[in-house]
Amino acid sequence: MSNVVKMKYLTFITVTLMSFGHLSAQEDTLIYSYEASNPDSTFTRDTIPPVPGTVKYYHSSELDTLIEFQKKINLNNCPKTVKGFRVQIYSCSGINCQQKAEKNYNQFLIAHPDIPAEKIWDAPSYKVRVGNCRNRFDAERIKSEIKEDFPFIFIVPDFIDSPFKTDCKSLN
């Protein structure tokens, strides 16, 4: 079972037990309240029973442990790219393929400077893929746009650069 699945399972169990009241208050459980009727109030530790109009927040050290565990999982599995699509305009394996891939890459950049392109060494092949498409529809648009210049092209699922990717440093 992967760490993500384990964490989702632990979170589900914890939330379920907390919602049914099966987790008993222990010594290290802190109770905080917030007075909803007073917007300037802050969370304070309860020493008296809350009055109507307050929100009680129960905080346990076990919850801190789960949060730290989830942060470690997020940092290890942090996506530096996201799933998407690209249009592959060239692929070759053999003699002089690196030079041919470079030639196709440069031709594409000259013809379509507004579309991002990249050269990939995926042993034993050199590939040139273009576009950073979040969905197949965008990839189809790029494919129809460049079909005249590069007739033997197809859409491939790929990990793409995206403005929606997660900043891994913020997960610490």
Average pLDDT over residues 23-42: 50
Strands, sheet with 44-45, edge to edge from the N-terminal-most edge strand: 44-45, 30-35, 54-59
Domains and CATH numbers, the chain: 3-76 (no CATH), 82-160 (3.30.70.1070)
Mean pLDDT of the chain: 75
The CA distance from 150 to 104, in Å, is 9
pLDDT digits (tens, 9 = 90+) for 139-169: 999 999 999 988 899 999 998 876 666 666 6
Task: Provide the pLDDT for residue 83.
Answer: 85
The CA distance from 161 to 65, in Å, is 33
Average pLDDT over residues 84-112: 93
- Of 84, 74, 75, 73, the C-alpha closest to 133 is 84
Task: Provide the pLDDT for residue 106.
Answer: 94
The CA distance from 93 to 26, in Å, is 65
CA distances from 164 to 80, 99, 134, 135, 167 (A): 10, 34, 10, 13, 9
The answer, yes or no, to whether residue 110 has pLDDT greater than 80, is yes
